[in-house]
Structure 1
Amino acid sequence: MLAYRSSGFYHLIMKVKKEIDKSNVKFDLNLRWYDYFFLLRPVLWIPVWTFLFLGYFWGSALETFNFTLILPWKFWAILGLYSLMMSSVYIINQIVDRESDLINNKLFLIPYNIISIRTATIYAIILALVSLIVVYFLGVKFVILFILSYLLGMAYSVKPVELKARPIADMLANAIGYGVLAFLTGWAVTGKIQGRAFIQSFGYILFVSAVFINTTIPDIQGDQTAGKYTIGVFLGARNATILSSILLFLAFIYSFLEFDVFLMIPSLVGLPIFIISIWDESMQMAKISYRAVSFLFVLMVALRFPLFLALGILILILLRIYYTKRFMINYPSLTGR
């Protein structure tokens, strides 16, 4: 099977399938100027922003039950630059994943060649260079965190490392990328990164690991067809959900010990959903499990920072309009794509 997938014949089959799929598509395959914005995967900015805000919150030692309306200009500069740099990684990931995305019928811009691989690659390079050059003027510590985040993102997507195709490593890469590097980047805005920052981030490592596992479950069939060996493929849906439930439980215990309300409530509410999904192995239940828990987690942080809430709502509205009008699908949603 592996030999078949690595052969030219497999790619020929994929090419034929792509042409068949193109002939049956119901959306316009012509490029629109706003496609370049949505190629950035702004939906993934929201979890990145969540951990940037959390890092800033803990680094500033703010009160939990309060609101922060005004943040320093440096925080907003870092948030914008970090988002652009991560979008560079997301574009490369879409290029690498174009075959499996075609099978799973998602992220249409590159799989259907609406935006060419060459154009997307140039776009990604420009985003990475601009963000790294500009952030240099904000401090060396940010340059280091940006480079580490970028290298981890590339290692996640690109061969020969390709962490996303290595079970456990794919989970850890996401956990470290969000729960540690993005978190520390937000913390660094407040001053020196202390040892306390790493202790505080451990609960987020557990939480992100649990959520990530469940995100791989709906794509198991498509990933198997494309030869991707994710943690979901490796464990199978049932065992993967058991592991994610254990990790979410540990995240709750850790949040209780640290009195981290942002982590405590989503973990507590999410546990029953994760446990139910152990027996209900449907794709719909898997999507509900990670989307509901992620939404509540983001909402907890957004309520603490109202400007984040406003930005998040704006992004979700734009995404809903775009995917409804452009591709005629219900996205973002709890049970849709």
Structure 2
Amino acid sequence: MRKLLTQIADFVAFWRPLLLIPIWTPALLGFWAGGGNQGTKGATDLLITTTLLGIGIYGLNQIFDAPGDRLNRKNLPLALGFISPLMAKITVFLAFAGAVIMTIDRTLLTLTLIVVAIVLGVCYSAPPMRLKDRGYLALAANCLGHGFLIYILGFAWAAEKSGARWNWIVFARALSYAVAFGAVYLFTTVPDADGDRKVGKKTLAVIWGARKTMAFGLLGVFLAGAMGVAFGETALFLTAVVSVPFYWRAISEPTIDNHKIVRANQVAVLVLALLTCFYMPQYLALIFAAIVFSALYNRIRLKVKYP
């Protein structure tokens, strides 16, 4: 029984539950703007779909990044050999297929957004494109995929039933999340820079160096906060206000402190997620489950304290 539970836990950990939070959050915020604020139903189906999408994208990333993950000492189930490459590939295929199936009976726009997100995820991790190793293209892919597309997907999901109007403000709000997630992405490249450099990856932290990368990241946080005010995304503005001191603390250190960089990103992601709960209180249970599972798995299975 203990072995079975361990295998199940390894399988769930492969999904990267903590990284699903920054997919769920912009999707729900887009859903809220598209009709959730008027009582439109369908948030649960949206969460299931984005979960499947995230599992597929993160799983594919782990498949192609296993050597680098070992070099960077990332405690990931595939890199550690806890799950087999075949199981990983089957999981990715089924997750992508499930995401498409969830949208087959919806509008063509929604289905198209899911397909585009999957294609972008494949291009991000898989050769020959490997956008994640191409510096500026990696940044663009994160802005487009993590922020813009997911927010638009959430809006479209609700608008199907609510009849919400598409106008420039919808895309401006989505752009503000693109900037926000692009800024967070810049900070994520810094702790991995040494390992990425050794395996020949050309991330922006490798190209620019840590200080310049973090400076642009902080600028992005400020810009996202300003756009949040301008376009009525209060949660985004408040997240910027709360997270700026943490990012500034990481930047102002005389030597690069990876722990403080990671902590600043955690604060930004968690604050935005918790603020989303003011719109959709039930989301809190999902956040709690993801954090508790990850904490218990890391401490019991991997013997590390994270998060």
- TM-score, normalised by the number of residues in structure 1: 0.83
Q: Unaligned 5+ residue runs, structure 2?
A: none
* CA shift digits 1:295-328 (9 cap, x unpaired): 2122111232110011111111111111111111
Aligned residue in 1 for 2:273: 298
The structure 1 residue matched to 2:259, chosen from 274, 280, 284, is 284
The structure 1 residue matched to 2:13, chosen from 38, 63, 69, is 38
Aligned residue in 2 for 1:87: 55
Aligned residue in 2 for 1:250: 223
User: After the TM superposition, which segments of 4 or more aligned residues of structure 1 sit over 6 Å from their partners?
Assistant: none
* CA shift digits 1:61-95 (9 cap, x unpaired): 739xxxxxx761x3311220221122112111001
Aligned residue in 2 for 1:194: 166
The structure 2 residue matched to 1:266, chosen from 222, 239, 243, is 239
Aligned length: 297
1:228 to 2:201 alignment = yes
- The more displaced of 52-61 and 140-149 is 52-61
Aligned residue in 1 for 2:127: 159
Give the C-alpha shift of residue 31 in structure 1.
6.6
Structure 1 distance, partners of 2:213, 2:21, is 25
1:323–1:329 CA contact under 8 A, matched in 2: yes
* CA shift digits 1:14-57 (9 cap, x unpaired): xxxxxxxxxxxxxx9x9713322221112122111101110011
* CA shift digits 1:98-127 (9 cap, x unpaired): 011111221432112221212211221122
State the AA in 1 paired with 2:195: G
Aligned residue in 2 for 1:216: 189
Aligned residue in 1 for 2:100: 132
1:242–1:275 CA contact under 8 A, matched in 2: no
State the AA in 2 paired with 1:227: G
2:173–2:228 CA contact under 8 A, matched in 1: no
Structure 2 distance, partners of 1:211, 1:89, is 18
* CA shift digits 1:223-265 (9 cap, x unpaired): 1122221111111111111111111111122122223210111
Aligned residue in 1 for 2:213: 240
Structure 2 distance, partners of 1:118, 1:285, is 36
What is the aligned-residue identity percentage? 25
Give the C-alpha shift of residue 284 in structure 1.
1.7
CA shift in 2, pair 1:247/1:108, >3 Å = closer
State the AA in 1 paired with 2:267: A
Structure 2 distance, partners of 1:88, 1:273, is 31
Q: Unaligned 5+ residue runs, structure 1?
A: 1-27, 64-69, 333-337
Give the C-alpha shift of residue 145 in structure 1.
0.9
* CA shift digits 1:265-307 (9 cap, x unpaired): 1112222332332231211221122222222122111232110
CA shift in 2, pair 1:108/1:179, >3 Å = closer
CA shift in 2, pair 1:231/1:204, >3 Å = same
Aligned residue in 2 for 1:203: 176
Give the C-alpha shift of residue 173 in structure 1.
1.0
C-alpha RMSD of the superposition = 2.0
Structure 2 distance, partners of 1:330, 1:302, is 26
CA shift in 2, pair 1:134/1:283, >3 Å = closer
State the AA in 2 paired with 1:179: G
The structure 1 residue matched to 2:30, chosen from 18, 39, 55, is 55
1:50–1:301 CA contact under 8 A, matched in 2: yes
- TM-score, normalised by the number of residues in structure 2: 0.90
Aligned residue in 2 for 1:326: 301
